[in-house]
Amino acid sequence: MNYLRPLFPYLLGLILVLSTQKFLNIGLINALGQLTLFTFVVCIPIWKTGRMSYVDIGWPWGLVLLGTISFLYSDGYWLRSALISSMVILVGLRMGFGALKLWQAGYLEREFPRYQYQRIVWKEEGKSNTQFALQVDAISQGMANASFLALPILITASNTNESFVLLEFIGMGIWLLALIFESVADFQKLLFLRSMKKAKKYNQVCNIGLWKYCRHPNYFAEWMVWNGIIVLAIPSFLGLGAMEISFLNGELSNILWVLVGIGMIYASRMMYITLVYTTGAIPSEHFSLIKREGYAEYQQSTNRFFPGPKRNI
């Protein structure tokens, strides 16, 4: 049971999606699509190689699949559906093509540090069956695409209103600014690594540009990308009547509507936990402290996740 615990929240989220009349069919199509994608792109390669890094291919291309399915099968206003689908597809393509490039360059032939850290956590938790734990973690990320991350997409794409409200524009603005922020951070990191390689300086601390203001500006921006999508979905959720999404009547229908809203908001918390604790900031810093001289000082002077001014040490 300890091995399966990571799946429980996503299983509840999937049950929530499939419990709604509004999203049952599209939720099933997306779930089956994610299952097929993760089976062949992630789970089988992990089983053969023992490396978790293939998740970096499967998860973003799962977003592309989610956006495509949402556009093809949603029954909302076509322009809103096209916008939200394009947004999530663009997020997936940006990371997905980057992952394929890493794969072609041979970087997936060794385990990424953040996934090496998982093995340390599993050992502390008493999980000795690493192969099984790898599969559970991989499946949980596929289930995220079929549950909580799908909710704001499906909700927005189901909105039949042909006019947009201010909050939707705010959400799209947050998404766009965050995506630019993330792309700039990644580009600055790439330039830094290239310059250090040219100077034959290795394992240096990247503290230029946006990296001066927090230690993981790319993770912060990715979180804000999803917050923008959730903000965009709020008017569509409020416009959904309880009876419109439910097979149920009366009070139970209202409860399900509220649970759908909570699930949509929970996507933000889920992404924060993932980007900080599970495969993000803390796992990467475990090894940075070991191999990068001056990283401890960087930690003391620079915020971990939320951008802010440097602290005096």
Full pLDDT tens readout for the chain, 313 residues: 678 888 999 999 999 999 999 999 999 999 999 999 999 999 999 999 999 999 999 999 999 999 999 999 999 999 999 999 999 999 999 999 999 998 998 888 888 888 999 999 898 888 889 999 999 999 999 999 999 999 999 999 999 999 999 999 999 999 999 999 999 999 999 999 999 999 988 889 999 999 999 999 999 999 999 999 999 999 999 998 877 888 777 777 889 999 999 999 999 999 999 999 998 999 999 999 999 989 999 999 999 999 999 887 6
- CA dist 299 to 187, 201, 202, 218, 282, Å? 22, 20, 19, 16, 11
pLDDT tens string 51-106:
999 999 999 999 999 999 999 999 999 999 999 999 999 999 999 999 999 899 88
Residue 17 has a pLDDT of: 96
Residue 1 has a pLDDT of: 67
**Is 76 in contact with 26 (CB distance < 8 Å)?**
no
Residue 129 has a pLDDT of: 92
Residue 164 has a pLDDT of: 97
User: 75-81 — which CB contacts under 8 Å span 24+ positions?
Assistant: 75/158, 75/160, 76/156, 76/157, 76/158, 76/159, 76/160, 76/236, 77/159, 77/160, 77/161, 77/162, 79/162, 80/156, 80/157, 80/159, 80/161, 80/164, 80/168, 80/236, 81/156, 81/157
Q: What is the CA radius of gyration of the chain?
A: 20
Please tell me the distance from the alpha carbon of residue 30 to that of residue 150, in angstroms, as a whole number: 9
Residue 275 has a pLDDT of: 96
Residue 105 has a pLDDT of: 87
